Structure 1
Amino acid sequence: MLLHISSPTVKQVLAFHALYPEWPLNVLLSYAIEQHFQEFQELHRKSICSLILDSGAYTLNKSSWTKRPKDILRGYANFSEFSSKYYDFIFNLDEDFTLHGYDVNMFNQIELEEANLDPVPVVHNLDNDEPDRFIDLGYDLVAIGQCEGGRPFKKLGRVVNNFHENNIKVHLFGVTEIELLDKLPIWSCDSSSWAQYVKYGQVMWWNSELVDWNPMEVLYFPKRQVEHDASRGSNYWDYIYQEQFDHYIEKNLGLTVDRLLGSNKEYYRGLVNILFFKEMERYITERHKKVHGFIFDE
């Protein structure tokens, strides 16, 4: 499975690559977010494994399209015509997230295809024949985006398994729930959670001391050491595995906990979380093969 880190900084990508040159990150960039595209695409492309481009429809939908650029379809097409050679794949401009958005989104899909691009179509309805239409149209990679009413496991599983049985790979947008990724034949996904956890002062790590199959733990670093908020995870200051965590970040990232508390704490906490998701990627990939027998055509 490919787990793409959504919009990391170039500095974080290069820092991780310096530590793990044989284990480069997979990265998702969004057309709707200002970032150093040239550095990712040209200067440091060899430091990245899979690089994919999202149209930014999710970002723009969150703002109810109030910040929508004029003629975004043409702008996205122009950008992609020049830059698509740097990306493993790009996504359609799936601007309509409603249950009845197929026609609008398919119009954009066709427009991009007529510009000699190869966008990945995005499903937004798990209940009608939308997924089957993409099977009939012969796509070999389909994404599943946000859906009205959510993406409950039973419905999502039915659609993902149907794609898999038809030799169609699935990219799942915005999901890194380990139990879900473990049980379904998801070929690719992406996560902005690493940054969201940083925003709220949290880090994640794999605690090998735990015997459970999912050894994920979340820590936070309150300003007052006596503060306790179970909803945020474990308080680092009285964490029973504090010594093991300190050893983990020193061994794997060359960090001491002081780095997670200093003036650049967001940057270093981000590195810890990126490592967590990279380890999750390897963990899920192994379980897909050895436990569930999921095989994806190359």
Structure 2
Amino acid sequence: MTACAGLHQPFKALTSYAYWHKTRMRDFVDKLATPVNMIFGDSGAHSARTLGVHLTLEEYAAWCRKWDDQLSLYANLDVIGGPEATWRNQRQLEDVHGLKPIPVFHTGDPWEWLERYLDEGYTYIALGKLLGNPVKEVLPWIAKAFRIAQGRAVFHGFGMTLWSALREFPFYSVDSSTWGQSARFGVIKLFDPNAGTWTPRFMMGDRAALLRHRELIRAHHIDPASLATKSASNGAQASLLACLTWRRAEEYIRARHGPITVPPGRRNPLTRAGRTAAPGLHLYLATASVTSIQRAAAGIHAARQEASTP
């Protein structure tokens, strides 16, 4: 079984204002074990409402500006079901606050709003409100978005880890929170790059499943015995395994579609202040837990060192 691929890629995480607004992002990034990191900032507006977190455009703008050096990019403060309000926030963040957020277009919004972003020169656009839609509806919607934007822009898919969509559509970037289920619930799901598919889910402590997939687990630089019982330390190992298996999936999709580059344009949020935009696919790990991200980065760093040792 081939050892875990994609370890050379920067560590990628999505952080939401709703959960991270009290975190000193400079300290957080400085403490990550991985030397090169890509941090995506998001408002988490829906989560903020459910958590009772007060969120205004001014507060979110201040957060993005304060941690601009630590954030590789940040998204607009979008309004689900309000394409005009979302557009207004985009322009205010740009014109009033001097920021360069990635715009967001939602399922259910009239298609002329996507055309408007494209006509205004946005070459990297996030697709939102993808979760919760039936697959038979969301796949044709994504296909139409790609047809409209072809050659003019690339997409980020919020929460887009639907495997059939990732195989079919060349997203520039996506994010996933499902990897965190391993730490929370002890759920294990592995990607097999030789088959290009995912194993059925099984629970930590399932000795028969661990035995069946032992070589695949070892290829992730994880000892299957460390998952044989449920404990806090073993939960950390399961979380690391989930992080690494998404790395394998990311590398597989990157090879499938080839390098995905952002078309040149004056409104590219990745190239602000002279930064460069590395070819995709990029998969960001999303979680509300600082500790989970730190453990994932430390695990990737350790696996990278192990893989490079003769």
Whether TM-score is above 0.5 comes out as yes
Matches within 5 A, 1:29-108: 29-34=15-20, 35=23, 37-44=25-32, 47-61=35-49, 63=50, 67-69=52-54, 72-94=56-78, 96-98=79-81, 101-108=82-89
Contact 2:130–2:158 (CA under 8 A) maintained in structure 1 = no
> Residue 238 of structure 1: SS of its match in structure 2?
helix
Matches within 5 A, 1:138-287: 138-146=121-129, 150=133, 152-163=138-149, 165-207=150-192, 212-221=195-204, 236-239=206-209, 242-243=210-211, 245-259=213-227, 261=229, 262-287=231-256
In structure 1, the gaps of 5 or more residues are: 1-18, 223-235
CA distance in 1, matches of 2:7, 2:186: 28
Total equivalences in the alignment: 252
> Residue 32 of structure 1: SS of its match in structure 2?
helix
Distance 1:128 1:248, change over 3 A: closer
Distance 1:155 1:256, change over 3 A: closer
CA distance in 2, matches of 1:254, 1:247: 10
Distance 1:146 1:45, change over 3 A: farther
Q: Alpha-carbon deviation of 1:68? A: 3.5
The aligned counterpart of 1:24 is: 10
Residue deviations 1:247-295 (CA, integer Å, cap 9, x gap): 3334433434235623323221110100111111000011112xxx966
Residue deviations 1:214-263 (CA, integer Å, cap 9, x gap): 243422136xxxxxxxxxxxxx3333xx3353333344334342356233
Residue deviations 1:177-220 (CA, integer Å, cap 9, x gap): 11101101211000000013442321121346xx7432434221
CA distance in 2, matches of 1:251, 1:178: 21
Q: When the two structures are superposed, what TM-score results if normalisation uses the length of structure 1?
A: 0.74
The amino acid of 2:128's aligned partner reads: G
In structure 2, the gaps of 5 or more residues are: 264-276, 278-310
Distance 1:180 1:148, change over 3 A: closer
Q: Alpha-carbon deviation of 1:147? A: 5.6
Contact 1:42–1:86 (CA under 8 A) maintained in structure 2 = no
Distance 1:177 1:131, change over 3 A: same
Q: When the two structures are superposed, what TM-score results if normalisation uses the length of structure 2?
A: 0.72
Which of 95, 103, 115 lines up with 1:121 in the alignment? 103
The aligned counterpart of 1:231 is: none
> Is 176-185 or 247-256 further displaced after alignment?
247-256
Q: Alpha-carbon deviation of 1:40? A: 3.3
The amino acid of 1:111's aligned partner reads: Q
Q: Which has the higher contact order (CA 8 A, sep 6+)?
A: 2
Residue deviations 1:38-72 (CA, integer Å, cap 9, x gap): 333344496343221111123235x2xx6141x52
CA distance in 2, matches of 1:116, 1:294: 28
CA distance in 1, matches of 2:92, 2:242: 38
CA distance in 2, matches of 1:268, 1:45: 16
Residue deviations 1:102-157 (CA, integer Å, cap 9, x gap): 12112211221121110111011354311111111111111011069836101111
> Residue 119 of structure 1: SS of its match in structure 2?
coil
The aligned counterpart of 2:293 is: none
Query: Percent of pairs identical after alignment?
Result: 21
Q: Alpha-carbon deviation of 1:36? A: 5.4
